Structure 1
Amino acid sequence: MSDHSSRRLIMGMLSSLAMLLILGLGVELLLRQYSLRQHELEQQRLLAHAYEVRAVLLAELNATLHLATGLASYIPAKQGRIDEAELQPWLRGLFEQGRHIRNIGLAPGNRIDFLYPLAGNESALGLYYPDIDAQWPAIQRVIASRKPHLVGPLSLLQGGQGLIYRVPVYLNDQSYWGLISTVIDFDQLAAEVESIARKRGIAVTITPAGQTTIPAKQDALDLSVSLAGAQWQLQATPLNPAKKTFTGLRMLGWGLAFTVAGLIGFALHTQQRRANLLLALNQSQRDFLQAFELAPQGMVLMTAEGGLLVVNQAFCRLLQLPPEQLLHRPLHSFCPPAEHEALSAHVSAIRPGHNNSWFLTLVDAQHLQIPVECSAAILGSLGGADEVRILHVQDMRERLRLQRLQSEFTASVSHELRTPLTAIAGALGLINGGVLGEVPHAMQQLLQIAHANSLRLQALIDDLLDMEKLMAGKIRVELRDQWLWPLLEEAVAHNQPYADQYQVLLHLVGPPCSVRVAVDEQRLAQVLANLLSNAAKFSPPGARVSLLVEEHADQVRVSVQDQGAGIDDDFKARIFSKFSQADASDSRQKGGTGLGLAISKELLERMHGRIGFDSVKGQGSTFWFELPLHATSTQRANL
């Protein structure tokens, strides 16, 4: 992309962002103004309710204080004498009218001598004010002022919180008589005020003025309350404050802002994306072509019909031809005629999402045949050609040479070892059999071990030779149509002596089946011997190995069930591989070459069958093979 295009794209994105910010700020400003207006209305409602609650509080207190003040005029009229019989009915009526009065105390000479009601307030009777260090200074100021005074809330000796309305009483001769103390139940009064406030949707808290124990609350409103020299602070807060969320309006406003800004940015983003995709595509193609050209193995791009579109250097070196002599020619023109049909079938079988592999022979410029392994997949469209195939070509000459050397070495060593081992095993067998006389007792164990190991080596060499012959295609498999059940009976009979060494019984589960299969009798016996001997080796003494036959529509399954320890999960994937044995010590000590199952698999596949197993650790194993049902004449397969 040019510098001019880049600058234009950046300016467009900045313009779109600026538009979004301006519209968004406008939305937030409008919401802010609306929020402030709503808050102002809520504060007005809160103030009106708070004034209403304060008026109720003052009314309740004034009604109580007026009742208590009337009692102060009774004392001078009686020249300071208290007639309890006359005073009791009056105080009872006074107490009944004052809903929040807790008790009324008369303290001539500053000592409480009369208290109504007495029940529940006995602790205050006889109280002498000068002895109350915390209250006496304030009481002295009330006496000196000659005016009633309201204090509290205070903790009462009777328990709870109360307001105390103290009225100093002076007789007609202006001599000081004492105090009248009216205790107001502050807890009850506060509860009633709070109940009234809740009905109006607010919460109130009453505290003495100057007290800072109440933390400031958001949206709280403070009112002062003054009565009889007492100063309080009434704090009112809404019980259920309106949640100032404007989600709908904010979403609508910002949605419009994003829509306008998005429409501006969409075109610019589309242009930028197209340019980036084109740049990435060009870079990807350059990287692919570079990797394609420098790949160490031959690589070809070809059409669905096999025509060569692009070839790399390795493919040109493989055929010793320049690119111009390879391009636009069909791949089969570089193959022997006998492989043209097979190559066409492989190319046609390539499907999207799959990787097909096959072996092929190519002919180079010197008319030399080159064995290769091909792997192909559908790449896509390229240069106007649909469904282009990419073909990997791997030179197999060196691999085949190494395999041939390995096979020749194995066969040579096996043949060279077989003759002396046969002689050694035979000689040891004769000695152990007593042909040369009785063997000394001290030598018997050593000779038996030597004889067993020589037989084991002989079996290993036989298995190695069989495997090499199978892989080289030199084993002749002759298929004949014959009854299956007699072959199974014969296998059980021939392998029972071997199972006796492990105290295991081989059991052919009946009844006899009338099934005919096309097999090589000798090779099937070899497969059964491998499966039965393995089952016997890995079963505990006294166990039974079962041989079962299951007949299906077009095939028959033969199963060998043992009662061994089962197969580990991490070993199951490679159980049919060459030289495969379990790693556990109890398995290793059983012996074996690790080739028996691999040989059995190869033999069964050459008899058009397949092999498998089912095993659960600790519950034994079942090895099975399946053969197609046949009733045909003798046929030969040279594999």
Structure 2
Amino acid sequence: MKTPLPPLNTWQRLLLVLLTLAMIAGVELLLRNEQARLSVLSQQQQLAAADQVRTRLEKELNIPLYLTASLASYLTAKSGQLEAQELDILLAGLVRQSSYIRNIGIAPGNRIQHVYPLAGNEQAINLYYPDLPLQWPAIASMISSRRALLSGPLDLVQGGRGFIYRYPLYLEDGSYWGIISTVIDLAPVWQLLTNSAKELGIEVALRGLTTEGEVTPAFFGEQQLFNPRSLQLNVAIRGAEWQMAVKEAPVTGSRLTLLRLGLYATALCILYLLSRLLATVYRLRQSRDALTESEQRLRSIYDNVLDGIITVDRSGRIQTANSACSRIFGYQTDALLGQKWTFLLANAQQVERQIEQQMQQATPEQQQLECQGLRADGQSFELLLFHTPMPQAHYYKLLVLRDITERKRIERLQNDFVATVSHELRTPLTSINGALSLAVGGALGPLSTQQQKMLEIAQHNCRQLHQLVNDLLDFEKLSSGNMPLKILPFDLLPLLQQLSQQLASSQQRQFELKADAATYPVLADEARVRQICLNLLSNALKFAESDTPITLQLLTHAQQVELQVDDIGKGVPAAFEPMLFQRFAQADSASSRAQSGTGLGLAISKQLIDKMHGDIGYQRLANGSRFFIRLPLASS
């Protein structure tokens, strides 16, 4: 319920009128000064932005022109004598240094005899400049003046439009040798200018100046931008004289309007606040009551969650604890306060080290780890611990403690069930696969085409099911710690050479193996490393684009050997990357589901690598994916 405005007497009303008039006069004076300041600021910003666009255009466009001048200097020093092979190498290097160069032509005696690159520019070969009636007068003037000329935009003989930078070459004896012409691609230059102007929020136009001082029509932007009110700048381009016009930026009144409204609104608010003072006191009292109710509600939720929640200070002593802590650990809540929180753990020192490592390596977000809790009666149990740094000065860390004894029991039952089923399926699958292999091989007599096709499909699916069973058994052995490993030194290079040759032959795909050293000794289980590498290469074959090579690269670090497997394709979806090495994890897309797989390969590879004290990971590339493994380097 709103409190009504208090009545005002005559003096109060007169004071309000005087304050209102004074404020109106002050606001209008301030607005006039602000408008003048904004006008000057707008002009300064426009000049700065135009200068940035001009500087960027001059820098990018002059690079190929200076490269042409350097080529001319080199030809002069060589007296115009260059072999075709030497010229190809020289021109290729110049073209690579600037993305704006479309081609470079060499025209001894005004006839183009060499163009690089030749592809797409064949029509320019043997072009004789005097045969160009529209361009020859300017070219002849350029030759006589011995000054380079940038012409354009022009329609090119080889198609398209662009600028042509022609440089007349005179030898050291003063004789005229010919012309070096560089064709500048028009599209990327205009794109650079458009993007730069758009980025800085301005609109620009370009026109040229002839040698007689006359202006040409605008060849970029709108001609109407060249008017007495626009800002015009000279552009220093080698071989040409350009002018840039910048559209006049109007001084909008939006900011002045907002300022006016803000000031008047402030005055009204002052008057309103005077009348609402008592109502504010009442609302503060209501807010206090609501805050107390909110705290009670949050405390009720805090005490009724199933997980234990405690906060600790920098010394590790418990500051607060909810009721679930008492239920999980068997202590009274008051008995927990002030105690070191690690007395709730059976392996306290190990957990503290793990937490410190996570806090040093990870971002300041919630982290979790599994450990052993310790109840008041001395009984240990499975505990999942979440820890989060807190920014408050009084509290240092938030800990969430979850009893996962039942969950672990169910997981063990699931693993036992999977292992039992996998063992029971392995023997009949082996028999079925053998029988199908005999049938496909012709042991049962000739087969029709349809029978052969159906048996091959059945054999393929049987092998996939057999692989799934093997993966399940491997994963169960790894999870239970029953996977034996033979850690011995061996050379990784021959293994990769054998696998790549085998897959290249069977899959009809190209593999590129890059290795700078003769040997790459690692300390690991050779059979399991073979399994990991085969899984990574198979994944690359599945998800790479067809007819693209799979690249393998070996690198040696201080104490590790790294293998990188790169493929060209769509890569792993960003949302799926955190689940990449989890069991049964497959990207939820039509393209990935179309590929066969169990979703266990990377999970098994991850556990095997961990047990061999190595590392496995994924990196997103610009045009594909990279999986890498790192293994301990075997000492010589």
Q: TM-score, normalised by structure 1?
A: 0.52
Q: Which position in structure 2 is the counterpart of 1:468?
A: 476
The alignment yields a C-alpha RMSD, in angstroms, of 4.7
How do residues 400-549 of structure 1 correspond to structure 2 at under 5 angstroms?
A: 400-435=408-443, 438-439=446-447, 443-493=451-501, 495-496=502-503, 499-509=504-514, 512-538=517-543, 544-549=549-554
Q: Is the 8 A contact 1:555 1:626 kept in 2?
A: no
**Amino acid across the alignment from 1:416:** E
Q: How far apart in 1 are the matches of 2:385 and 2:293? A: 28
Which residue, 345, 370, 373 being the options, matches 1:335? 345
How do residues 260-409 of structure 1 correspond to structure 2 at under 5 angstroms?
A: 282-336=292-346, 338-340=347-349, 342-343=351-352, 346=355, 354-378=365-389, 386-387=394-395, 389-409=397-417
Shift of the 275–353 alpha-carbon distance from structure 1 to 2, 3 Å rule, reads farther
Q: How far apart in 1 are the matches of 2:566 and 2:357? A: 44
Cα deviation, residue 450, structure 1 = 2.0
Q: How far apart in 2 are the matches of 1:32 and 1:588? A: 71
Q: Is the 8 A contact 1:16 1:262 kept in 2?
A: no
Query: Structure 1 residue 614 and structure 2 residue 606: aligned?
Result: no
Deviation by residue 1:541-567 (Cα, 9 ceiling, x = unmatched): 665433222445665442334455655
Q: Secondary structure at the match of 2:508?
A: coil
Q: How far apart in 2 are the matches of 1:30 and 1:477? A: 89
Q: Secondary structure at the match of 2:541?
A: helix
Shift of the 509–271 alpha-carbon distance from structure 1 to 2, 3 Å rule, reads same
Q: How far apart in 2 are the matches of 1:426 and 1:345? A: 50
Q: Secondary structure at the match of 1:530?
A: helix
Deviation by residue 1:59-106 (Cα, 9 ceiling, x = unmatched): xxxxxxxxxxxxxxxxxxxxxxxxxxxxxxxxxxxxxxxxxxxxxxxx
Shift of the 32–267 alpha-carbon distance from structure 1 to 2, 3 Å rule, reads closer
Q: Is the 8 A contact 1:550 1:557 kept in 2?
A: yes
Q: Is the 8 A contact 1:481 1:519 kept in 2?
A: yes
Shift of the 610–333 alpha-carbon distance from structure 1 to 2, 3 Å rule, reads same
Q: Which position in structure 1 is the counterpart of 2:626?
A: 623
Q: Structure 2: which 5+ residue stretches go unaligned?
A: 26-256
Shift of the 622–300 alpha-carbon distance from structure 1 to 2, 3 Å rule, reads closer
Q: Secondary structure at the match of 1:373?
A: strand
Q: How far apart in 1 are the matches of 2:567 and 2:446? A: 40
Cα deviation, residue 462, structure 1 = 0.8
Q: Is the 8 A contact 1:549 1:556 kept in 2?
A: yes
Deviation by residue 1:296-338 (Cα, 9 ceiling, x = unmatched): 22222444334334432222222234334444433333332x4
Q: Is the 8 A contact 2:565 2:628 kept in 1?
A: no
Cα deviation, residue 507, structure 1 = 3.9
Q: Is the 8 A contact 2:512 2:549 kept in 1?
A: yes
Q: How far apart in 2 are the matches of 1:408 and 1:380? A: 44
Q: Which position in structure 1 is the counterpart of 2:53?
A: none
Cα deviation, residue 526, structure 1 = 0.9
Q: Is the 8 A contact 1:560 1:623 kept in 2?
A: yes
Cα deviation, residue 519, structure 1 = 2.8
Q: How far apart in 2 are the matches of 1:542 and 1:534? A: 15
Q: Secondary structure at the match of 1:476?
A: coil
Shift of the 16–602 alpha-carbon distance from structure 1 to 2, 3 Å rule, reads farther
Q: Secondary structure at the match of 1:387?
A: coil
**Amino acid across the alignment from 1:409:** F
Q: How far apart in 2 are the matches of 1:347 and 1:18? A: 71
Query: Structure 1 residue 594 and structure 2 residue 599: aligned?
Result: yes
Report the identity percentage.
Answer: 29
Cα deviation, residue 529, structure 1 = 0.6
Higher relative contact order (CA 8 A, sep 6+): 1
Q: How far apart in 2 are the matches of 1:387 and 1:589? A: 51
Shift of the 586–291 alpha-carbon distance from structure 1 to 2, 3 Å rule, reads closer
Q: How far apart in 1 are the matches of 2:307 and 2:441? A: 62
Cα deviation, residue 481, structure 1 = 3.8
Q: Which position in structure 2 is the counterpart of 1:560?
A: 565
Q: How far apart in 2 are the matches of 1:328 and 1:275? A: 34
